[in-house]
Amino acid sequence: MIFLDKDSYELMQYLLQLEQPETIMAISKTLNQSRRKVYYHLEKINEALPADTEPIVSKPRIGLLLTPQQREACEKMMKGMDSLSYILSMQERMELMLVCIAIDPQRITIDKLMTLTDVSRNTVLNDLNEIRHILESSHYRITLYATKSEGYFLKSYPMEKIQYVHSLMHQILTEENESFISIVESMAGALPGGAIYFSQEFRESFITCLKNLRHLWGKRLNLNEIDLMVQLFPYLMMAYQNISLTPVELEQFKQELAPVQERIEHSVAQEIAQNLEEQFSIQLSSIEIAILTILLLSYRKDGDEHIESDDFQYLAAVLDQFLNQIEANSTFVFPEREILRNRLLIHCKALVYRKRYGIFLRNPLTEQMKEKYHELFQIAKVSASILEKNWNIELNDDDIAYLTAHLGGAAQNNHMDILTRKICIVCDDGLALQQLLMKQLKQYFPLHQIEAVFSSEQFRSVQDIISVDLVVETADVVETSIPTVVVQPILSKEDVLRLSHALKQEAIFDTKLSLSNQLDQLLKPYVTGEEERKELSRQIQQLLTNEMR
């Protein structure tokens, strides 16, 4: 039996991703752990390795890199880990307890939480006390209570609980590892009514229904947002169903949610509710349909046919002021101003609803945007006071980073010379990152032409008729005879190098392989020793990286 806690699990995940040696110091900085902890968790991983596998050891001046045998063993361990072999960290225990208390309609006792988390009574009591402190210091007005008759429960205004559960589950689904997410889902699926909500059939039906309703809605949700919404939706429904309301409180809640019934998203939510009733005999109440409507209003869109509607012209006017201030107080200019404003309008329509109803979405690229587009991020943050004042909202760094992604994709479009290669971008990460990737490609490769930008779904429908020399995609999901390069949305130096080689049509490089793997294949006939070959490969990559600076 394998026993690894969260930190050991994350270290093993990180080691599996490494394609060139990395020192303990570098690993400790990336994982935000001390070197002592990295050594400790490395020892735990080595203890779990099969007896016939050599232990993972850091080599002086070189660092750590898994051998093929070690990699295979670690991958098998990752696949074999389940709720019986995964030791919860304190943070994960508290998150699991909170989800259980929020959605389980049954009486929550100390004994039940002990069974759920597989720890002692004292540990559960300490965790519950810590949960109380965390809730007291959060901006949510929500309190953990306990009575003999009801057990442990969360007390708050109903919308406040929905907001909190959304935030909690968003954090778990976007920041925690797959093993822990699976544990949470298994717990929820075992509760009354949970089996249907967490079935594969339910998810597939929900996604299909959303896509089929695009014609009614006139809007296109970001593909990643669709997946997240489908994962989150059951938890919100179960959380609402676990709220006890008096007739007066119920009526007040209905009145609070009444304005969303005027939006077209409410009609879409009603269609989804009807589909769920027909296929799974799930009957959503008027409040549950309103909560689904709020999600549809709040999640990010890639397209919107209604951006010119009269009720959103005030947003457009404020965005013009926002862009004017950026141009007046910086060196940035936006030649395609109307296109940029329309994209920002699509984004900000959802942003305003998120702020109005407290639907918090984390941005996984915030720190990268701050670092790579520091100046633009800062000027956007200062200028965003116009948006905050006019829309009566508060923007955090995640919000500013999303705005910066749109701005970065449109700022300073320079004149292009004669173009020689035709490029197609395939990206499912949203309109902002599509535009940002296109901007980077134009910056690095001004002699080549960006022919089109597609989602993977759109590309499949046109791949037989499109004429391009190279497909640049952010996930390896496209099957095509056209040469393809897989890159990150924010290009790394290695991405740029592989793109350069692909555009020069150097056949010795397989563009779907990482640069380190490509070099390893090239050097193998000339350098037989594996360690010497990897060290030479590392030095070559370092030389190329220095040339890129």
Query: For the chain, how many helices (H) and strands (E)?
Result: 27, 10
Strand partners, 303: 220
Q: Show the low-confidence residues of the chain (pLDDT under 70).
A: 1-5, 80-86, 412-419, 504-518, 541-549
pLDDT, tens only, 494-522: 788 788 778 765 443 444 455 666 677 77
Establish how many alpha carbons lie within 13 A of residue 370's alpha carbon, considering only the half-sphere containing its beta carbon: 11
Q: Which candidate, 112, 105, 81, places its Cα nearest to that of 1?
A: 81
Residues 474 and 488: beta-carbon distance below 8 Å: yes
Q: What are the DSSP E strand ranges found in 273-362?
A: 301-304
The pLDDT, as a whole number, for residue 169 is 96
Average pLDDT, the chain: 86
412: left (phi over 0), alpha (psi -120 to 50) or beta: left
Question: Would you state the pLDDT for residue 75?
Answer: 86
For 42-66, write each residue's pLDDT tens digit.
988 888 888 889 999 988 888 899 9
Q: Answer yes or no: pTM beyond 0.85.
A: no
Q: Is 33 left (phi over 0), alpha (psi -120 to 50) or beta?
A: beta
Q: What are the percentages of helix, strand and coil residues in the chain, rounded to 5?
A: 60, 10, 30
